[in-house]
Structures are given as structure tokens and as C-alpha cells.
Chains A and B, each alone.
Chain A
Amino acid sequence: MIAIEGISKRYDEVQALRDVSIDVPEGELFGLIGPDGAGKTTLFRLLVTLLLPDTGRMTFDGRDVVTDYRYVRRHVGYMPGSFSLYQDLSVRENLEFFASVFQTTVEANYDLIKDIYVMLEPFAERRAGALSGGMKQKLALSCALIHKPKVLVLDEPTTGVDAVSRREFWAMLRKLKDEGITILVSTPYMDEAAQCDRVGLIQDGQLLRTGDPATIAQAFDRPLYAATGEDAYRLLQALRQREDVEEVHPFGTALHVTARSDMDPDNVQRQLREQGFTGAHLAPIRPGIEDLFMRLMR
């Protein structure tokens, strides 16, 4: 459905994207994951015809994105990262306006947005500015869906939204995917990767890796341990000084320790306890996407 081949884009000073290639088959929920400034927004803007690439080629449903941009605009539902609706218009007024922008009506495509809109209906007359973050996201998604797009492009839709609403939002995306809509979504949250069919990790304008979120972390090619103990900061220092430890990163309450091949965890644990970390504990864990990201970013 979407084919991106060797796309590069440069702003005056910054190389925003370097030779990025992604293929997204029809009906896939693809997640673009990376920190702020990685190039996610630029890539999406290129894809929805708002920017022109310096090099490379993109096709949308088999049509060239640059030359056949009118086709793309008819069939893409786009939600910009900065999209915040019209704060001074009510939920209904917002929806009706965007429906008429796409030369359709709320009624004509009601079945597609029905599931989302029923949640909004009690607030139909409320101004968008007075909605909660989660409600705003739902409304924005409804606006992007109003013309039954073939592809949804959502730029960081869950940024600044509470955990419950985020989960709800992803559930809605899964449902839309089941309706056959191809979805591209970007997020800075690694924990959302598991919600996607496939993810791409992007950093500094470069696509580091793409793959299945369940198996992509297997590319992490070293043994990984979770270290716990009192005084996490000093523990981190102690681990980083060791020859047999390659990297240590704090992850929530634990420290993730990337081992060199010669590391013996029992040995490390014993030595730490001798050093005064009486509660020190080392246990092997499966690497997650975040671990992989940290490693790829080195």
C-alpha cells in the first residue's frame, strides 16, 4: 500500500532523513518509533504530500506521491502532531466542518466513526477546548476518518494523553485495522510498539531496523540481566566500573546490564555483595525494544 524507497530530506542545516525505505502492505498497522527530532514528522509530511523529498521515491496505493498528490490527498486520513482542532467550536461543529472539508457528511460515513463517536456523543455540544486530552484525540481521529480513507497517517497521536486513553486509542486503531484500513502511526513511547503489527525504529533521520515487535528485540545479541539492590545510583556506578560489563542503563526500578561474553552473573552478584550491596541481585531477562534501541543508538 505504501512504498518508501531511499527517501532523503534536508532542511537548511539539518539532514532530517537519510535514505529511508519502508514498505507497508495493505491492512497493516505500522509503528514508527523514535525520540523527538528523529525525523518521524518529516517522513509523514513527505508521505502525505506536504513536503517534497530531495531524493527517493514514494508510492501510495501504487501511485507516485509527488506527481499524483491529488490522489493521495483524496485517500489519506492525516492527523498532524500539532493538530488540536478548533478549541472554540463544539465537538459536533468540528466534525461537521471537517466533513465538509472532505466534501462529505457526518451521516454518510457514520458507520466508520460510530464506535468512536458514541463515546463523544454525550459531549457533542461541548467546546473542543474543554475536552480532556483523550477525548480530543478521539475527536481528532474521527475528523481524520470522516472521509473513509484508505490509509491513516497519525503523527504522535498519543503524546500527552493519559495511560487509560492511550490504551483505548490503540484499541480503536486495532479495530480500524480490522476494517481494512492501513495505518501508519508514530510514537516516542517504546511500550506502544507491542500494539503494532510491525515497527520501524528511527533515530537521527535513519531507519535503524524494522520488524515484528515481538521478535525485533531478538536482534539484541548479548546476554542481558536485570540488577536490583539498594542505592541504585551507587550500584550503577559499581557496575559501570566492571570490565566484564559492557553497558548499564536504568530502567524503572531495575538496572539493565549488558554483559560481555566472559561475564558470570553469579560471580558479579557475589562480588557486589562483598562490596557492600548486601541486597544485590542479578537475574537474566529478555531484551525489550527499548534495550535494542539503546544498543542501536550507541
Chain B
Amino acid sequence: MMRTFRAFLRKEFLHILRDQRTLLVLFGMPVMQIILFGYAINTEVKEAKVAVLDLSHDVRSTSLIDALFASHYFVDAGHLRAPRDIEEIFKAGEAKMVVEVGPDFARRFAEGRAQVALIADASDPNVANIVAGYAGQMITRWTAAHSTAGIPEAITVEHRMHYNPEMKSVFLFVPGVITIVLMLVSAMLTSISIAREKEYGSMEVMLVSPLRPGMIVLGKAVPYLLLSLVNAAFVFAVGRFLFHVPMNGSYPLLAAEALLFILTALSLGLLFSSAARTQQTALMLSLFVLMMPTILLSGFIFPTSSMPWPLRILSNIMPAKHFIIILRGVMLKGVGIDVLWPQTLVLTGMCVLLLVVSIRKFKVRLQ
């Protein structure tokens, strides 16, 4: 039995090592995804173009404006002369935000009644929010530095980001990418590799052999389980060393939770493979039934809390949603099982259910 099992392991690894496409999916894709999500689809805003409409032109207002542009977040998009120029500069797309300093700024600031308006181009609401947020913080900081004691501040902007003070989105994306990659490797590659056996006719040969179906399932599942673990560690390392994603929790807990999630995804892959006869079908099934909903509904990109209720319910049956919460909890917040037990319990339930169903559905015959 052990010998047969080792032969399965060996064969599966040879398949993977000799197929550049699989290798690319295994190791190229995670790196690409992290870099894509880390750099390109970044919710951080750097060097946003900001224009200034200074209606005071006094010492104080100049000082405030200089302070804004001293940071690397904003670049000067020019000074406007009148409020009607605001519309124009937005339409021309030359600025994301206009900082309007009210008239008589220095005197009013001394009295604590100074006015600054942050007018952002909300056609891209994300960027608008973030840019306005940055500016608000800087104004608060400047106010604190320059106001004389005892006089209440004119503008109060309170922005505090927990766990990700710089709003580094890559911190949030790395757990998401780990999840997606694990899902992909475990479910997609497993179902494709079983479908390939069917296409090649080798599944028929294996069924018509003294092997028990459980052995065939195990021979397929274990290699991909090991691979997924290696892959998870690889993505984790990329996130850790390339993007300095923090790891505040316990490694054993992380590994155990990852194992649980991989098993769940693996059972899904087995389930799909019983429905798919060709590699193509297996690929399509994994992509549309698994990948898309996982990416869209797991809270990886779009927060589940802002979804309409039918989608919110749907997101709860995504194993990925629970795993992302667990990962973010362990890695970013450093919390333990005492906090994450509800998600762990849900995931365990899903895992057991899927595993039982998929083994039961794996047939001893062709129909």
C-alpha cells in the first residue's frame, strides 16, 4: 500500500515538474497577483495632483499650503484665481482635489474661525476619499503646530486607521492572494489532474485495478495538499519580504488554519472532478463556479458588509471569506483561536461536509 502511495506521489510531482504551465500557475501567478494587487490596484494614493485656490494670500495661508506640498502625497497642479476655475480644472482632469483657503485666513485663524474647503473630484470616489483624508490629516497637524494655546482649532479631522495606519492596501491583499492561490492550486489543479486521467483513459485503468477508490482519491489529494502548503509558504514569504506584511500571530495556528482551508478546497476540487470529463470542463468549472465568486464575494476586494443581503448570505458560504478573516486576524492583528474560533468552526464544518460528499460521489464505476 505504501509503495503504491509513494508511486502516486512521485508520478504527480513528475507531472507538475515537467509541465511548465502548471509550474507557472503554481509559482508565477501568486507573485504576479501580489505585485498586481500590491502595486497597481493600490488604494494608496501618491503624488495626487492638487490645485490651490488661496483667497487670502497671507503668511498663514502660504505656510499651510507649503505644508501640504511638503509631503510626497501631493503635487502642485497650479494656483487658481477664482472659484469658477475649480470646475474647469476638474473637467480638464488636471487636478484630483482643490484646496480652497477662505478669505482673511490669518486673522480668522487667530480667532479660531478659519475656513478651508477640500473639494475633491469624486468621479473616482475612492481616490477622492483618500486624498481628502490625507489633506484633512495634514491640516489638523499644521493647525496643531501653529495655533496659539487656548484657542480652539478651526478644523477638526479625525482619521485613525487601526492595524494599517498608512492604509497600506497590500497588507490587506496578501491574505487575499494567499487565499485565492490556495483555492486555485487545491481545487483547480486537483480537478484538472483528475479530469486529465479521465481523458487519457488512465482513470479507467486505475478503476479496473485492485486499488480501492479511497486510495485513488488519496493519491490525488495528498500531492496537491503538500504542494498547496509549499505554495502558501511561498506566497507568505513573498508578502513578508517584498512588502513587509506583518506577522503578528502564531505560526502553528496559521499553518493549521491553512491546512484546514486547503482540505476544504481540495474536497471542492474532487467534487468538481466527478462532474467534469475533460480538463477543459474542469478548468471552466473551477474558474466560474469557484474563482469568480471567491474573488468577488469573499471580501478580498469588496467588503462584504457593503453588499446587498442576498450576496452577503452567499458570501457566507464561501470558504474563502472565513479564511480571509482568519488570515487577517492572525497576520495583521495577531489574535489567536480564542477570537477566531467561530470562523474556524464554520470552516471545519464545511470541510467535513465537502470531504464526505466528494468521497461518496467518487464512483467505483464509470456511471
Binding site for B on A (CB under 8 A): 45, 48-52, 69-70, 72-74, 76, 78-89, 93, 96-98, 100-103, 143-144
Contact = CB atoms under 8 A, between A and B. Distances in A.
Contacts of B59: none
Q: Classify the interface of chain B: helix, strand, loop or mixed.
A: helix
28 contacts: A45-B204, A49-B208, A49-B365, A51-B366, A70-B210, A73-B207, A73-B208, A74-B210, A76-B208, A78-B204, A80-B205, A82-B199, A82-B200, A82-B204, A83-B200, A84-B200, A85-B202, A86-B11, A86-B15, A87-B200, A88-B15, A89-B14, A100-B7, A100-B8, A101-B205, A101-B211, A102-B210, A143-B205
Contacts of B211: 101
A87 B204 CA distance: 16
B209 A80 contact: no
Given A83-B202, A103-B210, A96 B15 contact: no
B19 A101 contact: no
B201 A80 contact: yes
Nearest to B14: A89
Contacts, number: 84
A86 B200 contact: yes
Interface of B: 1, 3-4, 6-8, 10-11, 14-15, 18-19, 199-202, 204-211, 364-367
Contact of A83 (B6, B14, B204, B209): B204
Nearest to A102: B209
Q: Which of A72, A101, A144 has the most CB of B within 10 A?
A: A101
Contacts of B1: 103
Given A51-B367, A100-B4, A81 B11 contact: no
B6 to A, nearest CB: 8
B202 A45 contact: no
A98 B7 CA distance: 9
A69 B3 CA distance: 24
B199 to A, nearest CB: 7
B208 A101 contact: no
B18 A50 contact: no
A104 B367 CA distance: 28
Contacts of A78: 204-205, 208
A73 B210 contact: yes
A102 B4 CA distance: 8
